[in-house]
Amino acid sequence: MEFHKIRKRLNLLGILLLLAVILTSCNNEAADNDWQHAHISGPTNSGWYPLSTLFSDIWMDELEEVDVTVVEGGAIGNIREVNTGIDVQTGFAFASDFVDGMNGEGAFEGEPQENVKAIGAFYPTFWNIAVLEDSPYESLEDVVEYGADVIPGNPGDASEATFHRIFEAMGYDEEGLEEAGVSVDYGGYGDAANQMRDGIIDLTVQGGGPYVPGLTEIDATQSVRLLSVPEEVRDELDEQGYGYTTDLEIPAESYSGQTEDTPTIASWAMMIVNEDMDEEVVYELTKAIWENVDRVEDEQPTRGVWFDPEVAYEEIEDPAENIHPGALRYYEEIGVTD
C-alpha cells in the first residue's frame, strides 16, 4: 500500500478517535449535570405508588435537571435498598421502620442501616385490624382467647411487626400466641383480604390512609369491622419507643358498618434518601415537594390533607440528626426547626 494512503487512513482514524473523546466528554458532562435517580415505592396497587408517581412528575416538571424512575418495593426492603444507594437513592418507608433501621432492631436486628436519612414525614398510615362483621371476635383479647386464624402480612412487613408488637404489649409473644391457639400465616394484603372474605382466616392487619382499598372491596359485599387497640396497649407501645403515633383514630364510616371512630396506632409514611446524595439535589427535591403541596392535596386528597412541613420535620425521630442536610437546610429556611 502506498505511504500517502496509509497516512490518510491514520489521519482519519485519529479524527474518529478525537470525535469519540469529545462525544464521551460531552455525554459525561451532561450526565454530571443531570440529577438522575431511582425512587422506590410500594407495589402498584399500594397507596405509595401513585404518590411516588406524583412526586416524580413534580420533580421533573419543576427541575429541568431531574430524571426520576419509580420502581416497586416494600417498606422494609426500601430502607435496605436506599441504604446501599446502588440501585435506588430515594424511597418511601414507615417512621417506625426507620427507627428500627437506625437502631438495628426489629426486622433490622443486628444490622443498623447507617446510610439512610429522612426528607420528611408526610401522612399517617393507620393500622387496620380487621375482621368481618359477623365474626365472633369483638376485641384483641378474643383473638387470643378463641384462637383466631390471622394473616398479618408477609414476614418482615411493617404490618407483621406491628401485629406482634401489639400482642407483645398485651403480654403474648409468638410462643404465647401459639400456645393460645392463634394460628399465624403469611401473605400479601390481597391474599389476606381474599382469604378473610372466603372465611379461611379470621383477621388481618393492614395499613391504610385511613382505610385499605382491598378491605373496602370486601366491605362492598360483606361488612368489615375494625378491632380497637386498647389505651393501655397504646401507652405501652408509646413507652417502648417504636416510633408509632398512638393518639389517632380511624374515622367512623371508613367502612360501612363502622359507626364510631376506632382507636389504633399509626406509622407515618415518610421519604428516605441515601446519606451520600448531593446536598443541593436533596434541597431542591424537598423544596419542590413543599412548593407544590396544593397539587398533592388536589391529586391525593386523603393523604395530601396531612401534608405540613412543620409536621414533616417534627415527626422524624431526632430530626436535626436524622434529616438529610439538604432537606434540613430547606426546613431551616422556612422556619419550622425553631
CATH number at residue 280: 3.40.190.10
Residues 231 and 131 in one domain: yes
- Rounded to whole angstroms, the Cα distance separating 144 from 167 reads 9
Q: Which residue has the cell 415518610?
A: 270
The verdict on residue 109 lying in a domain is yes
Residues 193 and 287 in one domain: no
Tell me what pLDDT residue 74 has.
Answer: 83
Question: What average pLDDT does the segment 62-71 reach?
Answer: 92
Range of the domain at 102: 35-124+268-333
Residue 180: pLDDT above 90?
A: yes
- Rounded to whole angstroms, the Cα distance separating 4 from 239 reads 86
Beta-carbon contacts of 6 under 8 Å, excluding residues fewer than 6 positions away, are none
Q: Look at 14 and 220; give whichever has higher pLDDT.
A: 220
This prediction's pTM: 0.79
Tell me what pLDDT residue 335 has.
Answer: 97
Strand partners, 86: none
Residues 225 and 297 in one domain: no
Residue 49: pLDDT band (50, 70, 90) is confident
**Residue 5, class by beta-carbon neighbours within 10 Å (0-12 exposed, 13-18 middle, 19+ buried)?**
exposed
Structural domain total, the chain: 2
Residue 45: pLDDT band (50, 70, 90) is low
Residue 325: pLDDT band (50, 70, 90) is very high
Per-residue pLDDT tens for 76-93? 899 999 999 999 999 999
Residue 115: pLDDT band (50, 70, 90) is very high
Residues 249 and 281 in one domain: no
Residues 175 and 256 in one domain: yes
Residues 110 and 81 in one domain: yes
Domain boundary among the residues 266, 289, 318 is at 266
Residues 149 and 233 in one domain: yes
- Rounded to whole angstroms, the Cα distance separating 212 from 194 reads 13
Residues 243 and 308 in one domain: no
- Rounded to whole angstroms, the Cα distance separating 180 from 182 reads 6
Q: Look at 190 and 131; give whichever has higher pLDDT.
A: 131
Residues 212 and 302 in one domain: no
The verdict on residue 197 lying in a domain is yes
Q: Are 52 and 271 in contact (CB under 8 A)?
A: no
Question: What average pLDDT does the segment 251-274 reach?
Answer: 94
The verdict on residue 8 lying in a domain is no
C-alpha R_g of the chain: 25
Residues 250 and 299 in one domain: no
Three-class SS state of 136? coil
Residues 41 and 53 in one domain: yes
- Give the whole-number percent of the chain exceeding pLDDT 90: 71
- Rounded to whole angstroms, the Cα distance separating 259 from 193 reads 22
Residues 208 and 233 in one domain: yes
